[in-house]
Amino acid sequence: MPFFNHRNNLIHAGIAVALSAINIFIVITLDPPNAAQGIFGNIFYIHVPVSWTAFLLYFMVMISGIMFLTKKESIWDHRGLAFAEVGTLFMFLILTTGPIWAKPAWGHFWPWEPRLTTSLILFLIFLGYFMLREFGGNTEQVSRYGAVVGILAFLDVPLIFFSVKFWLPEMQSHPQVGSYFDSGNLFPTFLVIFSLITFIIISTLMVRFRVSILKQNNIN
């Protein structure tokens, strides 16, 4: 039965699309967080919640990997793959919105800022993860290998972050919530946008999760 023929799925997807529209409206109409940057600063309202989401999803890939290796239940493999796919999509959004903001703020599209660099490296590791899942061997093998790479990628995060941070200490001017922006504490705004994004993620995850199971059943 097609996914959207199910009434609840259709309602959920409809709400997700409506919330995305509201989200874009909020991001555009809010005052810029830093007056000097004008409208370019507004991209920060989407950049920060998207970053939280992407790292949360990659964290969930690690958790799914640990669960799969310990419990050996294929459901965790499907979850891990769905988290990785949606996480990589959001990582791509970080890598797009970050440079758009960085150019007017710092004068370069790519300033080697630690968080942005960590995102790029994780993104590359996960591109390798998808290649491994495609060419790594039989289904049972790639599930195990995928779980290991998912854990390995997240273990690498603090090492990447601190090495880039020490490498370019002058990049510590990265905006910190409450200190850099005119409007003071933006945490509640970010939290609202994050909640809206979460709804879209759940919808996307449901679709990807179902596709992964259908693919598996088709192969078997």
To another protein, the closest distance from the beta carbon of 136 in angstroms equals: 5
13 close to 203: Cβ distance less than 8 angstroms = yes
Give the nearer residue to another protein in terms of CB position, either 40 or 112: 112
To another protein, the closest distance from the beta carbon of 93 in angstroms equals: 19
To another protein, the closest distance from the beta carbon of 185 in angstroms equals: 32
Burial of 79 (0-12, 13-18, 19+ CB in 10 A): buried
Distances in Å between the alpha carbon of 37 and those of 90, 103, 195? 24, 10, 26
- The label of the residue with tokens 């905006």 reads 175
118 close to 185: Cβ distance less than 8 angstroms = no
Distances in Å between the alpha carbon of 1 and those of 4, 202, 214? 9, 20, 11
Structure tokens at 147: 């779980």
Give the nearer residue to another protein in terms of CB position, either 11 or 159: 159
Give the nearer residue to another protein in terms of CB position, either 30 or 132: 132
Q: Which of 5, 122, 111 is nearest to 58 (CA)?
A: 122
Positions that interact with another protein (CB under 8 A)? 69, 121-122, 124-125, 127-129, 131-132, 135-138, 141, 144-145, 147-149, 151-153, 155-156, 159-160, 162-164, 166-167
To another protein, the closest distance from the beta carbon of 84 in angstroms equals: 14
Give the nearer residue to another protein in terms of CB position, either 38 or 158: 158
To another protein, the closest distance from the beta carbon of 131 in angstroms equals: 6
Give the nearer residue to another protein in terms of CB position, either 136 or 175: 136
